[in-house]
Structure 1
């Protein structure tokens, strides 16, 4: 039995619906209806100062709610969506009702890897509130039979179906630096920033910075500043940490001052990694390259 048309109409009219997602059963309403949002917070007994996640149907929809998201947000959306990753980033206050963002300047968005919520969102045309279908502080319902009957009686409709993962989403806060994993769920994030410093005359420093700020470094002396000398050192560090180039989310490179040859090689390697891995360099938009900054009077004859 196809119950989606009825659920869609109820949500469009400001109702509250329980539905399965990839992680658990969720409870939602349209995010642009303040009365529906207020009712959902009251119904779940959730404090209005505690933000609630919003489900979106696409990265493009997410970008209508985020405001100037850092490059890492775009990278995470591209790599992990649809999926069990909620990404917190600065939002457009005029589009996001205060209780949804807990009175802050940020919003947590997720694109579920489940047909039912995505079809609901696409049909309604706006993001849907997507917390788990439980009273605040009570166990998360991963199966239909886990739903609290007293909560079911308070909503307008329950969509038939099943959740597919049975574990909460991972939540990462990209509004802070370093980014912080608030909740570890079913999505494991291994994304790293590679840091290159080839400004010395006879040594290089390669570092890997994990999400959360942990940093691992490797210093090596080199005879010649070439990509053939530098890349094996980076590869050595990645293997030591059980990582690969697929885990690289961004590149940072020291562009000056320093050794002319070293800076030139470092920038060339960073630009190549940026193109091959489709990641940002020094926080610039993906596809934008960097150039060394030399001390202009140092090399005058």
Structure 2
């Protein structure tokens, strides 16, 4: 399959009229799959009403079909068409954070969406992305767009069109290049079907921000207990992983350096994922800083790009620092522990 590439300047006016947007929207209406930029990561978009289009998403990613997808919309009319009711807490959260990196889970209307998109569940996850290219493309297609991250299943999520091309060239119909994304980690997923909103996946909107709007917010116990099955789209299987095994270390620089020295003595090529503050303190084969420890938003923004960079370095093993689980640091550590798949080394 030939994968078309369109470059679009997100800052121009009337994006919906641009030929690149119209061409990509036509492919979506024909039930092809197209990658598009959002403010979090690049998404792999397909018509959420079509079993055929959704099947193509799963096939392109190599994603298990029992993993539900997030539906992306451009306006409130699209939301009303696919959900049974909109609770007051959801209205408050939408007013505060939409468009933006917040996915809300509603009880769905039957017969409106592909059952493949919702994995046969009675609920649906919906968000309105805060990216002019994504909004223009969704509006031009006139469709709700199912869009998981545009990467091969298991790989780090893509934050540039180049990342998408590396993973999916020849597997999808097109890529809309709207430049690098901003937030870096995926949206926060909140279940609004009960009496109290529940965070199912931490992301770009923090628990503190949510509570400032609606008061009490709880957290899915599965986030802290790997034995429990997660309820959120994109959280059921291990992913975000670089090619080499990644071990997270709760310790000082000296503790990590000792581990690095031991593996290098065994003849292994060792990488270290650190921060700008500590990059000069290590001696290793490959050292990549991931933002600044004093600014966790920068860590989130750089996270997936850093994990992908290690793939280009051909290291045998990676040791990574951990981060405070406050604010967006909760999302950072959630993604890092899923990327690692190993218990944190405590020093």
TM-score scaled by length of structure 2: 0.54
Residue 12 (structure 1) aligns with: 29
Which one of the candidate residues 150, 153, 164 is aligned to 1:133?
A: 150
Superposition pairs for residues 162-181 of structure 1, below 5 Å? Answer: 162=179, 163-181=181-199
> Contact 2:22/2:140 (CA < 8 Å) preserved in 1?
no
Residue 78 (structure 2) aligns with: 61
Larger gyration radius, structure 1 or structure 2: 1
Residue 192 of structure 1 deviates from its aligned partner by: 4.4
> Contact 1:31/1:37 (CA < 8 Å) preserved in 2?
yes
> Contact 2:70/2:146 (CA < 8 Å) preserved in 1?
yes
Distance 1:193 1:70, change over 3 A: farther
SS at match of 2:35: strand
Superposition pairs for residues 259-270 of structure 1, below 5 Å? Answer: none
> Contact 1:85/1:171 (CA < 8 Å) preserved in 2?
yes
Residue 174 of structure 1 deviates from its aligned partner by: 1.1
> Contact 2:186/2:204 (CA < 8 Å) preserved in 1?
yes
Superposition pairs for residues 61-210 of structure 1, below 5 Å? Answer: 61-147=78-164, 149-162=166-179, 163-189=181-207, 190-192=209-211, 210=216
Aligned partners of 1:56, 1:92: CA distance in 2, in Å? 15
SS at match of 1:134: coil
Is 1:38–2:55 an aligned residue pair?
yes
> Contact 1:59/1:77 (CA < 8 Å) preserved in 2?
no
TM-score scaled by length of structure 1: 0.62
SS at match of 1:147: helix
> Contact 1:50/1:99 (CA < 8 Å) preserved in 2?
no
> Contact 2:35/2:150 (CA < 8 Å) preserved in 1?
yes
SS at match of 2:117: helix
Distance 1:137 1:175, change over 3 A: farther
User: After the TM superposition, which of the residue ranges 161-170 and 19-28 deviates more from structure 2?
Assistant: 161-170
Distance 1:193 1:111, change over 3 A: closer
Aligned length: 201
Q: Any gaps of 5 or more consecutive residues in structure 2?
A: 1-6, 9-19, 220-347
Residue 138 of structure 1 deviates from its aligned partner by: 1.8
Superposition pairs for residues 245-256 of structure 1, below 5 Å? Answer: none
Per-residue Cα deviation, 1:216-257 (whole angstroms, up to 9, x for no partner): xxxxxxxxxxxxxxxxxxxxxxxxxxxxxxxxxxxxxxxxxx
Aligned partners of 1:209, 1:123: CA distance in 2, in Å? 37
Distance 1:139 1:99, change over 3 A: same
Distance 1:193 1:4, change over 3 A: closer
Distance 1:9 1:71, change over 3 A: same
Q: CA RMSD in A?
A: 2.2
By relative contact order (CA 8 Å, sep 6+), the higher-ranking structure is 2
Is 1:27–2:25 an aligned residue pair?
no
Per-residue Cα deviation, 1:49-68 (whole angstroms, up to 9, x for no partner): 21110100012321211111
Distance 1:209 1:110, change over 3 A: closer
> Contact 1:55/1:128 (CA < 8 Å) preserved in 2?
yes
Residue 193 of structure 1 deviates from its aligned partner by: 9.2
> Contact 2:33/2:44 (CA < 8 Å) preserved in 1?
yes
Aligned partners of 1:167, 1:142: CA distance in 2, in Å? 9
Residue 179 of structure 1 deviates from its aligned partner by: 2.0
